[in-house]
A and B are shown apart, each in its own frame.
Chain A
Amino acid sequence: DAKTTQPTSMDCAEGRAANLPCNHSTISGNEYVYWYRQIHSQGPQYIIHGLKNNETNEMASLIITEDRKSSTLILPHATLRDTAVYYCIVNILSGGSNYKLTFGKGTLLTVNP
C-alpha cells in the first residue's frame, strides 16, 4: 500500500513555479521522501530525495516540513516538457538494494502555455 497522498491533478502556467504537495503522515524515522516523474509512455525518472532537510538540485527543490509529515516538490520555472505524473514515495535508503518502491497514483501536472 502506498504511504503517501497526493492530489490527483494540478495545472501550472508555463514559466511559473509548480508546487506539488505530498502527505506522508505515517513516515518512519529512517524513511526518505523520493520524488519521481513519469512522462507519458516512458519509465519513471528520478527527481530528488530527502530525509528532513530541504534539498535542491538542477531539476527541483524539495521542502520537507519539520514534523516530516508532508513535503512539497517545487519546479521553479515549469516548462511544457514538465507535464507528467509526479510520484511521491517514502522508502528506506540503505546499502541494501532490495527495498522495493511502491507507487501511489501520483499527481498529473499539466503545464499550460
Chain B
Amino acid sequence: GAVVSQHPSRVICKSGTSVKIECRSLDFQATTMFWYRQFPKQSLMLMATSNEGSKATYEQGVEKDKFLINHASLTLSTLTVTSAHPEDSSFYICSARSADRVTFGYTFGSGTRLTVV
C-alpha cells in the first residue's frame, strides 16, 4: 500500500533557528501533499497544501514566510519552520495521495515532534 515517510520524528531546536521537515511518498507519486499541525489534546489543523512544481496554498492565518514549503519533486515535500519560537512547538504531520490511487484516500506520515527551547 501507499507509504509516506516523514523525517525527523523528533527535533529540538533553539529559538531563532530554522528546522526542516521532510515528507516522502515511498511507493507512489504525490502531486499534492498536505501539511498539518497538531497541538496537545487538539485535532489536526491543516496548514497548507503543497503542489509539485508550484507555490503552496496556505490556510487562513498561517504565515507563509514562516512556514516555507517546497515540493520540488513528485515524491518529496519539505516544510521549513523559520526563526522558530517556543510557540511553534507542536506535532507536524504530512499527508499525500496519489492522483491515480483514489481508493484509499490519504496516507499520513508518522509525524514530527518539534520542540523549540
Contacts and interface: CB of A to CB of B under 8 A. Distances in A.
Interface of A: 34, 36, 38, 41-46, 49, 87, 91, 93-98, 100-106
Contacts of B4: 43
A15 B76 CA distance: 41
11 contacts: A41-B91, A41-B111, A41-B113, A43-B110, A46-B104, A46-B106, A94-B102, A97-B30, A97-B97, A103-B44, A105-B43
Interface string B92-117: 01011111101011111111010000
B32 A103 contact: no
Nearest to A87: B43
B6 interface: yes
Interface of B: 4, 6, 30-32, 34, 36, 43-46, 49, 51, 91, 93, 95-100, 102, 104-111, 113
Q: B interface, by DSSP: helix, strand, loop or mixed?
A: strand
Contacts of A102: 46
A34 B93 contact: no
Contacts of A41: 91, 111, 113
A102 B106 CA distance: 12
Contacts of B100: 95
B106 A43 contact: no
Q: A interface, by DSSP: helix, strand, loop or mixed?
A: loop
B105 A43 contact: no
B110 A34 contact: no
B102 A95 contact: yes
Contact of A97 (B31, B45, B93, B104): B31
Nearest to A93: B102
A93 to B, nearest CB: 6
B73 to A, nearest CB: 15
